[in-house]
Chains A and B, each alone.
Chain A
Amino acid sequence: MSLIRRENTQKEWGGKIAAYLFLAGAGAGAYLVAFIAVLVRPGLSSLVVTAVLLSFFLLIAGTAFLVFDLGKKSLAFLAFSRPSRSWISRGTIIITAFLLLDFVYIVTGVWPAAGHDLASVPLLVLGSLTAAAALLVLTYTGMVLGAARPVEFWNPGFLVVLFLVSGISSGIAGTVLCLSVYGLFPGRETENTLEFLAACGAAALALEAAVLGLYLFSMSRRAPSSASVLIVTGGSLSRMFWGAVVASLLINLAFDCCVACSYSASALHLPVPAIAVSLLGLLSGFMLRYIIVAGGVAAPVNIGGRLVPAPRVTIS
């Protein structure tokens, strides 16, 4: 049985929403890495300044993508209206709160008067609040998709964890890229920074690869979401998945492992490989979200026990 006209994957959300989710996740991830560095590796001031500033601008850029995607941009403020029910409203409030806290953290502790004691109690409290908001941002990027009940592929449990670790790995890639582009700083701090970022990156990427594999395996065992898995791994999105997501992720992981194990830390002193690998990391993070958004297949309509694919109509 087949419908005469149908399109399987959702077409309502595409690249702009994927970019929004990616930038929000990468920004929150960059902040978390900076805050972890403040807590466990004091003295990496270049890393902290770069990552915290980057997080702010990534969140601004991500919000811009959401606004660009709206049909009526002038009414974007109405997205705050229903936090009690809608995840977009909750996310809008969470991102706004993060931006405000991040801005205050930047102004009071990070820039322009660099050299503030980030381990002081007031800044630690502020930093912790901002880190909590960053965690909520990462959670939100998974929940906003997971709340769409007909698309079983967007499983909120898996997506929250996947986007959390992917956000951190993307934030690290963005931070490495910025540090590399404006010139790696000489001396002991460079090695410490690179080792710290590589260790965090390797852990996040390994976890990301494991969660991604488990997610796809789990989704392939259920009827509606298995169609999405087929599209992602063997269908129209498969080249992006294997090339831009999996290959990039593995290259990034191998590179970070090498640096973290101090086998080739000196290689990262050259900006070109660091830039290339971090660009691959960012590409992997964006494409991961894109294929998940674009690969969403709605559950079939149940007509008295007979399942018929949900009819999608595109206007041309």
Chain B
Amino acid sequence: MVRYGMVIDLKRCIGCDTCTLACKSANATQRGVLWNRVLKYETGKYPDAKLSFMPVTCMHCEEPACEQVCPSGATLKRADGIVSINSDKCIGCRYCMIACPYTARYYFDRVRSFYPQHETPFEKDYRNKHRPGSVQKCDFCLERVEQGLDPACVAACPTDARVFGDLDDPASRISLLIGSKKGFVLSPEMNTRPSVYYLPGD
């Protein structure tokens, strides 16, 4: 059985936010909701200060804290490793948001258009894609993956910083990268065993 995961090469990430926008476009998330984000932070001190980038998304953990606390069973760990949300079952208690160590979840309380009193054609087309009153997050572009495509953020990345693939296949590109370039996960002390790995930056 395949176990999907992702590797993000921090040396290659230039902080252009193409992944952020590709995600928004593919998933029609509303204003303020970013299933994929690129955090920017300073490292070093003047005159050697530097802006560093850290793309973050749902880590699709093997032991997802969000799934453990969900009272309704809306959050589901699939056999292929993807953590998905059944918005029909989500009651909007937001317990999962508090339990997630990576703050990867968003609460969609009501529809907000980008422009006041004006809905764009894109917003009109996708108005009913998400259910108000429920929590949402990255699902590795489930529909695309089921069609054999890479998630939108991976497909759009101009520097090939993201690699998507099967973590259980030792010959896959993602497994080879993690092994050869010392891939690491965020906050391993939380014991959630993320499926998103990072390759060290500078």
Contact of B71 among A4, A71, A88, A301 (CB under 8 A): A88
- Asked if B181 is at the interface (CB within 8 A of a chain A CB), the reply is no
The 4 closest A-B pairs by CB, nearest first: A71-B92, A71-B133, A315-B32, A78-B72
Contact between chains at A308 and B39 (CB < 8 Å): yes
Indicate if the CB atoms of A304 and B40 lie closer than 8 Å.
no
Chain A residues near B168: list those with CB within 8 A: none
Asked if A86 contacts B186 (CB within 8 A), the reply is: no
Alpha-carbon distance between A298 and B93 when the two chains are bound, in angstroms: 18
Q: List 16 A-B contacts (CB under 8 A).
A: A70-B93, A71-B135, A75-B89, A76-B91, A79-B91, A80-B71, A81-B73, A92-B71, A148-B95, A150-B101, A296-B98, A301-B102, A303-B186, A304-B198, A304-B200, A315-B31
Residue of A nearest to B72 (CB): A78
Docked-complex contact A72 and B98, CB < 8 angstroms? no
User: With a CB–CB cut-off of 8 A, which chain B residues contact A2?
Assistant: 41-42
What residues of chain A lie closer than 8 Å to B93, measured between beta carbons? 69-71, 79, 88
In the complex, whether B103 has a CB less than 8 A from a CB of chain A is yes
* Contact yes or no, B71 A86, CB < 8 A: yes
Give the distance to chain A from B46, nearest Cβ to Cβ, in Å. 13
Alpha-carbon gap, A70 to B94, bound state (A): 8
Residues A313 and B32 in contact, CB atoms below 8 Å apart: yes
Residue B34 is within 8 A (CB to CB) of chain A in the complex: yes
Please give, as numbers and ranges, the residues of chain B lying within 8 Å of A81 by CB-CB distance.
71-73
In the bound complex, how far is the Cα of B190 from the Cα of A152, in angstroms? 11
Chain A's interface size range is 35 or more
B103 partner residues in chain A, CB cutoff 8 A: 298, 310-313
CB distance from A313 to the nearest CB of B (A): 7
B189 beta carbon closer than 8 Å to chain A: yes
Complex Cα spacing A144 to B100, Å: 15
Contact between A13 and B187, CB atoms less than 8 A apart: no
Residues of B within 8 A of A299 (CB): 101, 187, 190
Q: Please measure, in the bound complex, the distance between the C-alpha atom of A241 and the C-alpha atom of B133, giving whole angstroms.
A: 32
A150-B98 contact, Cβ under 8 Å, with A72-B133, A78-B73, A79-B93? yes
- Interface presence of B54 (CB below 8 A): yes
Q: Which residues from chain B contact A312 at a C-beta distance below 8 Å? A: 103
Partner of B91, one of A1, A78, A296, A304: A78
Q: Given A302-B189, A316-B32, are A85 and B101 also a contact pair (CB < 8 Å)? A: no
Q: List chain B residues, Cβ under 8 A from A149.
A: 65, 99, 101, 190
Instruction: Using CB atoms, name the residue of chain B closest to A3.
Output: B41
- Among B33, B40, B68, B109, max chain A CB count under 10 A is at B68
Q: Kindly report which residue of chain A lies nearest to residue B112, judged by CB atoms.
A: A315
